[in-house]
Amino acid sequence: MAPSDDLSVERYRRRPETVATDRGDGPPLVLCHGTLMDRTMFAPQIEALEDDYRVVAYDTRARTDRYVGPYDLYDLADDCAALMDAKGIDSCVLGGMSMGGFMALRFAERYPDRVDGLVMIDTTAGPHDEDEIERYGEMIETARQAGEVPEQLAGVIQHILFGATTNEENTDLAETWVDRWRTYPGESVYHEVNSWLERPDFTDELDGIDVPTLVVHGEEDAALEPERSDSLLKRLDAERVMVPEAGHSSNLENPDPVNDALAAFLDGVY
């Protein structure tokens, strides 16, 4: 569904303060969060880059009142285009963490003229395997039936989305997000995960994407192991930065090396 077919553009115009953080001037960097996260996960990047770039981090529909599905990654790509339209952004460097990266690849396929570069954070072009699909499917069905993210499930997710170092040494960060997950409607989590869970392999489509790409991956990522970003290196014009002492949310867990890499990458693109 194209942005013009729904109220996406008008939604972002009417309520930008509730769905997007827009800071700084200069060339634009647009950032899309991963599953169960929200735009605030990019606060370290906004703070580090807003003096030189316009950084826009936004909430996907799962974190808004439009959380009911079904929808897929191409619908989320159309939402991103609608956001850019509402913000007057013709093209940008587009960054995505995990699910946000799945979306960003499809955005680059559908809207190639609107992408100056890609930032792929703890993400992959490949699909999830059958065991992962079954496991995540059971988890989101639990949330849907409960109407929320139960405490025990939130504890499991904590060790999926954060690395061992964060869980051992930065418990305040992890627990802050656990508390936030507990407030989410179970239905929003169910449709959010289903938007990507059974997505097909996108590896061959990478050959049609011709923009510079920065791949960022936490060394402790247990949700998508670092080798699962290898195809991005092989098939795109890409460089990879490994982030020590960080897991699946590497830009939030250990932001300094990520910010340094982003600043250098954006300087090269723009």
CATH number at residue 226: 3.40.50.1820
Is residue 181 assigned to a domain?
Answer: no
Tell whether 66 is covered by a domain.
yes
Strands 54-58 and 20-23: antiparallel
Expressed as residue numbers, the domain containing 17 is 3-126+201-269
Residue-wise pLDDT for 31-71, tens only, equals 999 999 999 999 999 999 999 999 999 999 999 999 999 99
Does residue 22 belong to any structural domain of this protein?
yes
* CA nearest to 195, candidates 62, 48, 16: 62
Total domains in the chain come to: 1
Tokens of 124: 């992959």
User: How many Å is the Cα radius of gyration of the chain?
Assistant: 17
Q: Look at residue 56 and tell me if it is in a domain.
A: yes
Structure tokens at 117: 């570069």
For position 18, what pLDDT does the model report? Answer: 53
Dihedral over alpha carbons 258, 260, 263, 266 (to 10 degrees) = -60
- Give the integer Cα–Cα distance in Å for 184 and 95: 24
Q: Output the pLDDT for position 13.
A: 45
Give residue-wise pLDDT tens across range 251-270: 999 999 999 999 999 999 99
pLDDT at 12: 45
For the chain, which ranges sit under pLDDT 70? 1-18
Query: What pLDDT shows up at residue 42?
Result: 98
Q: Is 180 among the domain residues?
A: no
| Residue 168 domain flag | no
Whether residue 147 lies inside any domain: the answer is no
Q: Is 145 a domain residue? A: no
pLDDT value, residue 131: 97
Q: What is the pTM of this model?
A: 0.93
Q: What is the pLDDT of residue 138?
A: 98
Look at the block and give the residue holding tokens 């003229």: 113
